[in-house]
Chain A
Amino acid sequence: MQKDFEEIIKKVDNYRIKYNNTFRDKIIEDMHNQISDILTDIVDYQETNDLISKLEKYVDLFLTSKIGGIILLISFLSIALWITLTGAGYISSFLSLIFERIEVFLRNILAVLKVHDLLISFLIDGVYKGVAIVVAVMLPPMAIFFPLFTFLEDLGLLPRIALNMDKIFKSVGAHGNQALTMIVGFGCNAAGVVSTRIIKSPKERLIAILTNNFMPCNGRWPLLIMISILFLVPAITNSSNPLLGSIIASLALVSSVIIGLGFTLVVSLGLSKALKSYSSFYILEIPPFRKPNLLRIIYTSIIDRTLFVLSRAVYMAIPAGIFVWIINQLNLSQTLIAFFDPFGKLFGLDGTIILAYIIALPANEIVIPALMMLYTGSKNFMEIEELQSIYQILTVYGNWDWKTGVCVMLFSILHNPCSTTILTIYRETNSLKWTVIATIMPLIIAFSTLFLVHNLVLKNIH
């Protein structure tokens, strides 16, 4: 008589359920204990007089300690973001200038070729301008942020910080390396999603992909900074002390990150409970300190990250450019704004903000130019340098106050990923289902949070 194989499997499954799928962890832990026992009288750790080793040890102790790691992380991020945002402004305006020249050149060529005016307008005002603005606003921050990030990664600093974060992330069922992917997300969420490849276990990787969006990317920072300065600072203090102002603005930005982090952790916990898969065994690697290889840094950051993301952004910018062009040709914007207005009002926003976010689907960078365009009734994206002019447009045309500011900031942190990121999520997960969830879930979270904050909190503050 032969034993029925399925019966064995059933029995095994029962054992697995009884042990809560922890065989692997149990065995690893036990192996580790046995190995430690054997190695105690084989391996001997001596004090070394080697200066470099000592230095490495102390640096390691500092970096992997709670306070040291977090201090370093925050200072790194602030410095990197500051360099990125300041530097990017210059390159962006330079690029815009070049793109304008090219635009004139293209218009002339098309005119010589006797192309129909409407087609010229479609190609230039729609397709070309859409692509040009996305490249001009997206390329510079990435080209600055990613080399900085890759440099610190290559140096071995970032993996040490990740080690420190492991406990926090493990407690919500996520992977310590998720911290690294979130830092990449500060640069660009699409690149952050790609970087989740460093998380080998499928479940933890999916969690990292789905939550990366809660880290505000380069494209969202200018908006967050602008609102903090224009609306939150005056709401909190009447003093015109610039130091106090910048402290409040910085605190507002840090709170944005903390809100994003909070949502990341809560959603990670929810997802890890919802996803029934094995928790994986992994050891966080602390690589040796290395002399960073400049060529490799440039290659990884420019080719692997920047161009990779940018090519997708261009791909997604074309339909968006066409969409804006059609809206302008048909003079649809006012109709659409009126249509979205009641919906937006439910959440402390308005129709213009909703439409601006729809237009800015390919890149968060163009939310402000789109807002300016829609509020002023212009036909082109408007890059306004002066904060006071922006403030006037927002308050006069848009009727904004600090409560609108808070709502827009929250929406900016929580809303759906940009289309470049959505496309990247699809490429990485290969699953339509997860791509849709990754898009819809943040939207639901954003709107329900805003609904609560707007109706329960902000409405009661006078």
Chain B
Amino acid sequence: MKKECENCQILRNLKNYNKVDYTIALVGNPNVGKSTLFNYYTGMSVRVGNWPGKTVSKIEGFFQLKIQDKKYVFKIIDLPGVYSIFSFTPEEEVTRNFLFLGSYDLVIIILDATNLEKNMILAFQIFEITNKVIFALNLIDEAKRKGIKIDIDKFQDRFKVPTIPIIASTGYNADLLIYKSLEIIQGKIKVDPLKYKLPPELENIINEIKKEILEYYPELENYPHLKWITLRVLEGDKLVIEMLRKKVIPINKTTKLLTT
């Protein structure tokens, strides 16, 4: 696996760069190693205290990926750790708003290999907002120590998302992760994650509401995340309802919109 990017190299401590080529975001549950990975790439030493009361915000940094003589500048965004993106807590709000309204080229979903089941709940929710995802399976050393064996090939086959096993604390496979990310961004690998299937009775309600939303706001006809929006409406998500009422859903993401 390592051979795939034999000649690639992460260049940190970036001081001079002309422009950012790509923007990637790190998303994951709390304590899965997001900040560790972020610090690895950027050479920064962000310590995100878990003691609450700290300001909830996203942190940005920059690094380069060098492949032979080509260099790509990446902006990397560390989003607050969350268990879901229902936007119930300030952390969820920041992460949800960024994924829904922000502009980015790829989302790296960091998974804790020792606790996959719980982590995948968040991943399923992210799939509903964007297809531009890659999995970083962190703490594989810890998982091995605990006797947890994960069939990575099967895993990426079933969820249909490229998955790179990494160890954030040592930087193992960190370069490969960015290399793969680049391939996805450049369209060399197509990603279409496995979508969560609603239970039938909910599905019926969703379809009914969806139809009515379309009657009110026909421009959403081909909008890929209409189902997600409908679900949010059903859950009473104030921001989404307000955006629908004003008809300001960012149908093509290039239109940058109100960020709360």
Contact = CB atoms under 8 A, between A and B. Distances in A.
Interface of A: 2-5, 7-9, 11-13, 15-16, 23-24, 26-28, 30-32, 34-36, 38-39, 41-48, 50, 52-53, 194, 197-198, 200-201, 278, 280-283, 285, 287-288, 300, 304
A3 B216 contact: yes
A280 B84 CA distance: 11
Interface in B135-160: 142, 145-151, 154-155, 158-159
29 contacts: A11-B209, A11-B212, A12-B234, A24-B235, A27-B198, A27-B231, A31-B120, A35-B121, A41-B151, A42-B154, A43-B117, A44-B148, A44-B150, A45-B149, A46-B147, A48-B147, A50-B145, A50-B146, A197-B52, A200-B88, A200-B89, A200-B90, A278-B88, A280-B89, A281-B83, A281-B86, A281-B88, A282-B83, A287-B31
B145 A44 contact: no
Interface string B50-83: 1111000000000000000000000000000001
B233 interface: yes
B205 interface: yes
A166 to B, nearest CB: 14
A160 B167 CA distance: 25
Nearest to A195: B52
Q: Rank and list the top 5 A-B pairs by shortest CB-CB distance, nearest first.
A: A48-B147, A197-B52, A200-B89, A3-B215, A46-B147
Secondary structure at chain A's binding surface: helix, strand, loop or mixed? helix
A41 B198 CA distance: 22
Contacts of A36: 117
A11 B148 CA distance: 47
Contact of A3 (B120, B142, B212): B212
Contact of A31 (B90, B142, B196): B196
Contacts of B216: 2-5, 8
B233 A12 contact: yes
B235 A23 contact: yes
Interface of B: 30-31, 50-53, 83-84, 86, 88-92, 116-118, 120-121, 124-125, 142, 145-151, 154-155, 158-159, 194, 196-199, 202, 205, 209, 212-213, 215-216, 231, 233-236, 241, 244-245
A31 B199 contact: no
Given A39-B116, A304-B51, A283 B89 contact: no
B51 A23 contact: no
Nearest to A281: B84
A278 to B, nearest CB: 7
B18 to A, nearest CB: 40
Contacts, number: 133
A257 to B, nearest CB: 26
Given A11-B212, A16-B236, A34-B197, A285 B150 contact: no
Contacts of B118: 283
B232 to A, nearest CB: 10
Contacts of B121: 28, 31-32, 35
Given A15-B234, A24-B235, A278-B88, A39 B209 contact: no
Contact of B150 (A9, A42, A200): A42
A89 to B, nearest CB: 30
Contacts of B234: 12, 15-16, 23
A53 B143 CA distance: 10
